[in-house]
A and B are shown apart, each in its own frame.
Chain A
Amino acid sequence: MNNISNKAAIVGIGFSGFSKDSGKTELHMICECIKAALDDAGLVPPDIDGIVKHSDDATDEHSVTSSRGMGNLTYFGENRWNGAPCAMVLRAAIGVTTAAANYVVIYRAVNEASKRRMRGSSRNMAQLDTGDLLQWTYHAPFGLVSEAGRVAMIVRRYMHEYSINSDQFGWVTTVCREHGAKNPDGIFYGKPITMKDYLESRIIVDPIRELDCHEETDGAIALIITTAEKAEKLKQKPVYIRGATQSQVAGTEERKGFYRPAISDLPEMKHMGERLFAMAGVNPRDIKVAQLDDSFAPLVPMQLEELGFCDRGEGTAFCDGGNRIRVGGELPLNTSGGCLGEGHIYGVNHVLEAVRQIRGTSSAQVSDADLVLVASGAGGSTSGLILGGSR
């Protein structure tokens, strides 16, 4: 397959501490993160000639370059929706492997908890997406106006088809919080929960509980991507991009695809996984750690099934008791804590953690973590990565 596999690498990481109130502007956080990522990689600002950002990010590339003394850009653009994080890495990899740019920085900065934002959050419960005709016309008049509600509709059907009790989703949050409790940069450092806490947490939209939902967070992350050849001359051990893809299939909507044959599966995730494994030349058994989209806990077992880590309907059984998904188990998940246990940087923190795992610097390190899978955008357009310590 003629593709970008093994031709690009993540070479620098920078992140703010995650918190409920950063006390800084999003632009300030991102400037500090880019500085940290450059220092980490052993690069200087004029080396950067490409920027990839998220379309919801209020900090644009002009403000970033004018604050950071960067050089001239030859490559810039943005990705959309929840499935953006891995897609941003893919876009950066495309840029460097085609020589459109030499060093591309990707970033995400959100003051979502403190609301110190220029633009409102797209997840703001009362704020509707005016650009979205499906949402406005056929869902909103009936009160289906929040992300939690739309996910709840999918989860109810999943529970029905596989005879799952919603209590079982609690293991996902419990293990994420267990990992997050070890992460000094996360908002739940030293704050694990028990299954009892989960079961007692209030219902937000039945069947979704409060502890099924990601925690709104202030924070920022920057990552630097370059070619594998250039990566090998830099300061850090390169984290090679073995596989990277996006996926949309017929009937995909952003967590409102209620009109396709089945709504309890994630066909975009399945399609993405098949392509990802083929590209990287590995199979699910080779993956040592996975960072899955845990913006809502019940989406995690669904992803385990679609990505081939277990059979259809077996995802919650896989998570039961937590032993198979915690560090030391056969497939440790979301080792930084993820969106449920570290902070909700819209899944870019999952890419960051994958890099830390391969470098061996995670606060919940898995031994021999030489192949890590990252998935973003469960329930809508997806993107995924397989990152490796060797190529």
Chain B
Amino acid sequence: MVMEYIPGIPILRPYIDLDNQGFWDAVKQHKLVFQKCKDCGLFVHRPRPMCPRCLSTAKEWVPSEGKGKVYCWVNFVYANAAYPGIKVPYPVVVVELTEGVRMISNVHGVSQEEIYIGMPVEVVYDDVADDLTLPKFKKQEV
């Protein structure tokens, strides 16, 4: 129950720019970081130039605990409505991290029958290509 990428079809890659580079650099080193406002302390994801609360441009990359809960999820079943490079069925989850931010990801080692809203999860790293790592989530060990 690990996501299966189909050889020969390119994996869609993130568009990395100066605003989000820190996030993707950390992931490559198997670390999860989020943008945090240096002035008001707000955690922000996706990364952006300014704090949406206090409009400060002073920001830093702060390590995440890597733990959270499934906030919502869907399951891609029908191939024509899914990305052809990934074998269906594959679930996509919205995870709410303990820092308060949410991110889109996939689950590892969890079947679609096991997923539920509120399920505790923790980050794992999927080296999907030589130069690309994606942060994914597995069921939290109790």
Contact = CB atoms under 8 A, between A and B. Distances in A.
Interface of A: 23-25, 27-28, 31-32, 35, 45, 63, 66-69, 116, 118
A27 B19 contact: yes
B55 A35 contact: yes
Given A45-B55, A68-B55, A69-B55, A31 B15 contact: no
Contact of B48 (A23, A35, A63): A63
- Name B's interface SS: loop
Contact of A67 (B18, B49, B54): B49
B48 A66 contact: yes
B117 interface: no
A24 B50 CA distance: 12
Contacts of B13: none
B16 to A, nearest CB: 11
B15 A69 contact: no
Nearest to A65: B52
Contact of A27 (B49, B51, B55): B49
Contact of B49 (A32, A69, A116, A118): A32
B55 A116 contact: no
- Please name the 9 residue pairs, one residue from A and one from B, whose CB atoms are nearest each other, closest first: A28-B49, A67-B48, A31-B49, A31-B50, A69-B52, A25-B17, A67-B50, A25-B19, A25-B18
A116 B55 CA distance: 24
A25 B17 CA distance: 7
B100 to A, nearest CB: 15
Contacts of A67: 48-50, 52
B109 to A, nearest CB: 33
A44 B17 CA distance: 28
A63 B49 CA distance: 10
A28 B18 contact: yes
A154 to B, nearest CB: 37
B57 interface: yes
Interface string B58-79: 0000000000000000000000
Contacts of B49: 24-25, 27-28, 31-32, 67
B41 to A, nearest CB: 15
Nearest to B54: A69
Nearest to B17: A25
A69 B55 CA distance: 7
Contacts of A31: 48-50, 57
A116 B57 CA distance: 20
Interface in B104-134: none
A35 B17 contact: no
A66 B53 CA distance: 9
Contacts of A68: 50, 52, 55
6 contacts: A28-B19, A28-B50, A32-B50, A32-B57, A63-B48, A118-B15
A3 to B, nearest CB: 36
Contacts of A69: 50-55
Nearest to A26: B17
Contacts of A32: 49-50, 57
A35 to B, nearest CB: 6
Name the residue in A28, A32, A67 with the highest tally of chain B Cβ atoms < 10 Å from its Cβ.
A67
Contacts of B50: 28, 31-32, 35, 67-69
Name the residue in B18, B50, B51, B55 with the highest tally of chain A Cβ atoms < 10 Å from its Cβ.
B50
Nearest to A22: B18
Contacts of A116: 17-18
A21 to B, nearest CB: 11
A385 to B, nearest CB: 30
A390 B106 CA distance: 60
A373 B18 CA distance: 38
Contacts of B19: 25, 27-28
Contacts of A27: 19, 48-49
Interface in B1-24: 15, 17-19
